[in-house]
């Protein structure tokens, strides 16, 4: 009986060790299956940027058509378009490994410099928006306001699109 117990105990131990190693092996295979080369990552990024640019152009064309701009308003629209066009990522961001290798003060300085660039871009966007808004009629301003609210895209990722999350922003009563 003692030999049978030992055999069962050894068998269970071997099974337990095997079941512990199996998920690790599967996880390693999964990582290898999803590994992408730098070229593949670059291609995916380029595809994403192209889709993003196409979406931006379609959305801006929709706003332009809704506004029914006059010839006198077109220069303000063109300036607005130049200011709101998505900016490509600069090489200044660097690779992830470069950031990890930086000392903390240098990393923070770089983050501040990038924040200043974003603020400068937002200020230029604000100025162009104000210039456009000033040449629009009150009806066009209303249409512009309705059609330029695209924050919903960002909110969808947080579950805040139509029908969800109204309780977080109660209407003033």
Tell me how crowded residue 90 is: count the other CB atoms within 10 A of its CB: 9
- Its pTM stands at 0.58
**Integer Cα distance of 86 and 88 in angstroms:** 7
Q: Which tens digits make up the pLDDT trace of 9-30?
A: 677 776 776 666 666 655 555 5
Query: Please, what's the b/e burial string for 117-134 (b: 16 or more CB within 10 A of its CB; e: otherwise)?
Result: eeeeeeeeeeebbeebee
Q: Which tens digits make up the pLDDT trace of 13-72?
A: 767 766 666 666 555 555 555 678 888 888 888 899 889 888 888 888 888 998 999 999
Average pLDDT over residues 165-172: 43
């Amino acid at each position: 009986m003692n030999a049978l117990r030992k055999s069962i105990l050894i068998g269970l131990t071997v099974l337990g060790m095997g079941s512990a190693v199996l998920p690790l092996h599967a996880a390693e295979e999964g990582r290898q299956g999803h590994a992408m080369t730098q070229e593949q990552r670059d291609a995916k990024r380029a595809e994403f940027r192209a889709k993003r640019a196409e979406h931006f152009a379609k959305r801006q064309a929709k706003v332009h058509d809704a506004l029914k701009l006059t010839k006198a308003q077109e220069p303000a629209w063109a300036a607005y378009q130049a200011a709101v066009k998505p900016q490509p990522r600069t090489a200044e961001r660097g690779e992830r490994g470069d950031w990890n290798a930086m000392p903390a003060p240098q990393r923070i300085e770089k983050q501040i410099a990038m924040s200043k660039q974003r603020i400068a871009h937002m200020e230029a966007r604000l100025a162009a928006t104000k210039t456009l808004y000033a040449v629009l009629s009150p009806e066009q301003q209303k249409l512009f306001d309705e059609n330029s609210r695209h924050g919903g895209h960002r909110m969808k990722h947080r579950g805040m699109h139509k029908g969800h999350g109204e309780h977080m922003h109660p209407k003033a009563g």
